[in-house]
Amino acid sequence: MVTELPLTTQISDQELEENIKTFAVFDKAFQYPCHTQSVERMIRLVSEASGKVFGQDARDGYIKAKLESKKELPEYNTKSQYVPAKK
């Protein structure tokens, strides 16, 4: 399966061909947040899934199950909520 890069999805084919011919810098491409913390988290999750299961469907299921299980975990806003109270 061949898919288009996320950095070029907002650029028309004609504009892309012109940029390739003139070696222009893709200004629109640099507006795409590809190095955010959430992207890095997903890269780690996909890498983990690739090491644990075989096949695209199995990997997809593993990732969806992992994300769903994280939704069930409690969310802490402060450190005092995370640390259990001393008895």
Give alpha helix (H) positions in 1-87.
13-22, 37-52, 56-72, 79-82
Radius of gyration of the CA atoms of the chain, in A:
20
pLDDT number for residue 26: 57
Which single residue is written with the structure tokens 């409690």?
Answer: 74
Confidence of residue 14 (pLDDT cuts 50, 70, 90): confident
pLDDT number for residue 60: 93
Residue 46's contacts (CB-CB under 8 Å, 6 or more residues apart) are 59, 63
Q: What is the pLDDT of residues 18-74, one digit of tens each?
A: 877 776 655 555 555 667 788 888 889 999 999 999 999 999 999 999 999 988 877
